[in-house]
Amino acid sequence: MNQSIEDIIKNYNFFRKKAIISMELFKDQGVCNATYLLNTIDDKFIVKKFNKALHVDKKLEHKIQLMMSKRGISSQPILIDIKNQIFISKYIDGYHKSVLSISDLKKLAKTLSKAHKAKIKEKAFDIRNFLQKNSHKIDAKSKQALLESKKYKRDLVLCHNDLNPKNILFSHTIKFIDWEFASMNDKYFDLAAICIEFKLLPKKERIFMNAYFKNEKIDFHKLNIYKIIYKQVCYIWSIN
């Protein structure tokens, strides 16, 4: 007889002395996981039961999230159980935003820069190869952007790769959640994601980019190319 998720959790050493009060399925669910809020007598946790059909390296996600939690920009992972497809993290307070103030943009740029400075030895996500393989699914504008992107040397950093508003929590600090698609990638992919997802107009886009790069040179042409690429990658992910 299959155990319930709650029964499995009760058997983990970490939870044996913690009285579980409730476990509630979140109303808004993502594609990759069923996500629960676990309430114990003294703390709250996020429980993710992930989809076996999705080829995502959960051990790598755990490793990256642990690294980011130590940097103060993600929740602390508690445990990962590959056999039962369960990933548990500490709950963090925060709220989502769809419109960002100038102060938000500057804080977000600082947090993203901090994330991008993390070091990890993993194979990079080759966007150019990914789009080339899916060339039959992309439009002419995206094919042109792909060609133009090849003029640039990739500036590889550890990218989140899925910085939509649901994966960013605002409070007195900013934290990123759901690191399942994180990998080495060109930093402009994450930067483009913020510009697209928050519908930044030119003035706010420039404020955000200046806050991220500080005194470094900003290539707005490259940013525009990656905005096209980001939208096309999201489209391909959505139909696969």
How far apart (Å, rounded) are the C-alpha atoms in residues 49 and 36? 8
pLDDT tens figures, 126-145: 988 899 899 888 889 999 99
Largest CA distance in the chain: 61
- Prediction pTM value: 0.93
Among 90, 110, 133, which residue terminates a domain?
Answer: 90
pLDDT score at 1: 45
pLDDT value for 53: 54
Specify the CATH number for the domain of residue 207: 3.90.1200.10
Tally of domains within the chain: 2
**CA proximity to 150, closest of 177, 169, 132:** 132
Give the separation between CA 75 and CA 105, rounded to whole angstroms.
21
Domain that holds residue 69: 5-90
- pLDDT, tens only, 50-103: 875 556 788 999 999 999 999 999 999 999 999 999 999 999 999 999 999 999
Q: What is the DSSP letter of 5?
A: H
pLDDT in tens, 161-200: 999 999 999 999 999 999 999 999 999 999 999 999 999 9
Question: Among 50, 66, 90, which residue terminates a domain?
Answer: 90
Residues 112, 65: one domain?
A: no
Whether residue 234 sits in one domain with residue 120: yes
Q: What percent of the chain has pLDDT over 70?
A: 96
